[in-house]
Amino acid sequence: MEVPILKQGPYLIAIIQSALADADIVHLRDALVEKVGRHRSLGVIIDVTALDVMDSFATGTLRDMAHMVRLRGAETVIVGIQPDVAFAMVHMGLKMEGVATALDLEEGLAYLDQRTRAVRHR
Amino acid sequence: MGLTGLQKDSKRASDVPLREIVAHLAENRAQLREEWVRRITDAQLLTAMTKDELFAEATSVYDSYVDALETRTLESLQAYAQNLSERIIPRGVETHEVVGIVLLLRDVLARSLFTKYHDTPALLDRVLDAYEPAANSIAITVAVGFVRERERVIRQQQESIRELSTPVLQVRERLLIQPIIGVIDPHRARQLTEQLLRGIRDTRARVVVIDITGVAAMDANVANHLVLTVEAARLLGASVIVTGLSPEIAQTLVNIGVDLGKMRTVGDLQGGIEEAERLLGYKVVPVAEPQA
């Protein structure tokens, strides 16, 4: 299942609706990294609220994507990780080092607004 | 449960020695009991009890003891030992004291038998053959009863610690406090984490202060768990500030090699709340001079 990527002002928002196959995640990564450049986006939000499992492949791919997006000049924030998922992840040692996380979409937007304030008001 | 030693003996010979022992103990009840109490006092056992209590208790134990020898069953003694344990455990009586007094009684009675049958070695042998195994099973019964009761009390206490609520409190918009008091075992640690993560989601907290002033020590497992909790909270978008780390806990955390870059710690709860307010952009200023 392909994940739709929405453009919202200077940000790209991808809301994952259901469990994804590995190929879909890779596809999402490639599409987002490409679009960040095309739309000159400042931030990317991945909403994983609907996921009740985050395995090592998904976590690793999202982390790589965040780093790639950073290299292309934008910030990434992962939002909506559920309490049980979060605890299972840290138990498996999947800690998303260096990737910003926020409670939900609203918080993620607030985080990006704050991070990109300097750039937006230039 | 029967007195195995006694039954074996009665099959082998006759009940005569045992009946004689019981008669002897009943006859010299007052004197032997006093002797026993004196020995207990000398050995400084059961110091938690007053003299009168000790004497009354000693009388009941003595009678139960003789009763167990006479009836050759341990049921009533077991019940008595459990009842006794229930009463004395809350008063801080230790295992060595209980075992000590029973062994003292065994000793006092054995000496008395020695004196009585001193001149008839053959009879003395049979008397001791009957007495020793019985006395041993009585001592074991009382000790086991005490330890079992103690373990039950410990289990019960662990249960109550587990049930102690560990509230997650909101002190300001987006700021939670979780004060933790008492012993943290793996089960409770898990519960604490679940409550905290749910609390973060439900109140949309951005900063959490976990105060562990009330936790004296934790083992490496629980310390690791604390680190994982901090990580998990971050995945939900909340920063965690841990306050009130005792020197022992600090030592444990250093030993397990915690990454201090990931864990924010502040000395006490007040400092933790102030730090949290800074993170959230609050500034607390007094509106007036405090009234003297």
Q: What is the pLDDT of residues A85-97, one digit of tens each?
A: 999 999 888 888 8
- The two three-digit tokens of residue A19, written as one number: 């469990």
- Please say whether the beta carbons of B170 and B205 come within 8 A: yes
The number of C-beta contacts closer than 8 angstroms across A and B is 54
CB contact under 8 A, B201 and A90: no
Residues in chain A with CB shorter than 8 Å from the CB of B232 are 83, 86-87, 89-90
The minimal CB distance from B235 to the residues A89, A108, A111 is found for: A89
Tell me which of B195, B235, B239 to substitute to probe the interface with A (most A C-beta atoms closer than 10 Å): B235
Determine the Cα–Cα distance for residues B43 and B45; give it in Å rounded to an integer. Answer: 6
CB contact under 8 A, B236 and A101: yes
Q: Please indicate if any CB of chain B lies within 8 Å of the CB of A87.
A: yes
Q: Please indicate if any CB of chain B lies within 8 Å of the CB of A82.
A: yes
Q: Is the pTM of this model over 0.80?
A: no
What residues does A45 pair with on adjacent strands? A13, A77
pLDDT the model gives residue B14: 52
Helix, strand and coil content of chain B, in percent to the nearest 5, comes to 65, 10, 25
Tell me which of B190, B236, B239, B262 to substitute to probe the interface with A (most A C-beta atoms closer than 10 Å): B236
Which residue in the block uniquely carries the two structure tokens 């990580």?
B231
Tell me which of A51, A79, A103 to substitute to probe the interface with B (most B C-beta atoms closer than 10 Å): A103
Which residue in the block uniquely carries the two structure tokens 């138990």?
A91
Give the type of residue at B70: E
A113 three-class SS: helix
A22 three-class SS: helix
User: Mean pLDDT of all residues in chain A?
Assistant: 91
Q: Please indicate if any CB of chain A lies within 8 Å of the CB of B238.
A: yes
Distance separating the N- and C-terminal Cα atoms of chain A: 39
Say which DSSP state B177 is in.
E
- The two three-digit tokens of residue B155, written as one number: 């289990």
The minimal CB distance from A87 to the residues B193, B204, B238 is found for: B193
The minimal CB distance from A83 to the residues B197, B206, B231 is found for: B197
Neighbours of A62 (CB within 10 A): 23
pLDDT the model gives residue B142: 85
CATH 3.30.750.24 is the classification of domain A5-117: yes
Strands B175-181 and B169-172, by their bridges, are antiparallel
Q: pLDDT tens, position by position, for chain B (292 residues)?
A: 445 444 444 444 456 778 888 888 888 888 888 888 888 888 888 888 888 888 888 888 888 888 888 887 888 888 888 888 888 888 888 888 888 888 888 888 888 888 888 888 888 888 888 888 888 888 888 888 888 888 998 888 877 777 676 789 999 999 999 999 888 888 888 889 999 999 999 999 999 999 999 888 888 888 888 989 999 999 999 999 999 988 888 888 888 887 777 788 998 999 999 999 999 999 888 888 777 6
Helices (H), B43-185: 51-71, 75-88, 95-117, 121-163
Where in chain A are the domains?
5-117
pLDDT the model gives residue B1: 47
A39: closest CA of chain B, how far (Å): 27
A73 three-class SS: coil
A81: closest CA of chain B, how far (Å): 6
pLDDT the model gives residue A122: 64
**Mean pLDDT confidence for A48-69:** 91
Q: What are the φ and ψ backbone dihedral angles of B8, each rounded to 5 degrees?
A: -60, -45
pLDDT the model gives residue B15: 64
Determine the Cα–Cα distance for residues A46 and A25; give it in Å rounded to an integer. Answer: 11
User: How is the beta sheet containing A11-15 ordered, strand by strand?
Assistant: A5-8, A11-15, A43-47, A75-79, A100-102
A31: closest CA of chain B, how far (Å): 24
Residues in chain A with CB shorter than 8 Å from the CB of B238 are 103
A106: closest CA of chain B, how far (Å): 11
Nearest CA to B31 out of B70, B58, B57, B52 is that of B58
